[in-house]
Amino acid sequence: MKTGMIDTSRIEAMMAQLKAAAVRAEGAQSPLQAGKTAHRADFADALKSSLDQVNNVQHQSAQLGQRFAMGDDKVNLSDVMISMQKANISFQATVQVRNKLVAAYNEIMNMQI
């Protein structure tokens, strides 16, 4: 895999895992049954859940950093740095999604009817 390119097979495998997890969470017997009985996810709910997850990651990272700064022996510097990088990456991904949404909104608003 080249850097900068997305490997679609990994994305498809991840989507299959997510669908299987959703099926298990719903308690359905098979993915076909789950598709018939499960309700569609609302965009606003998905967006709110993603933002909540980013907020939680940043909050946990800040708490870990504070614990390290206070001298907690159970917290390693490497753990703090990794959690801070995870929080940074999740925030940057959120900013990129927001930028794409704003660009799509502007494009739709500039369309002629």
User: Is 65 buried (19+), middle (13-18) or exposed (0-12) by CB count in 10 A?
Assistant: middle
Report, as an integer, the average pLDDT of 75-91. 94
Check the CA dihedral 43-11-4-78 and report its sign: positive
Cα separation, 73 vs 75, whole angstroms? 6
Cα separation, 48 vs 52, whole angstroms? 6
| Domain locations in the chain as residue ranges | 1-39, 41-113
pLDDT digits (tens, 9 = 90+) for 20-78: 777 777 765 555 554 554 567 788 888 899 999 999 999 999 999 999 999 999 999 99
Q: Over 80: is that where the pLDDT of 16 sits? A: no
**Residue 1 banded pLDDT, cuts 50, 70, 90:** very low
Q: Which residue has the higher pLDDT, 111 or 33?
A: 111
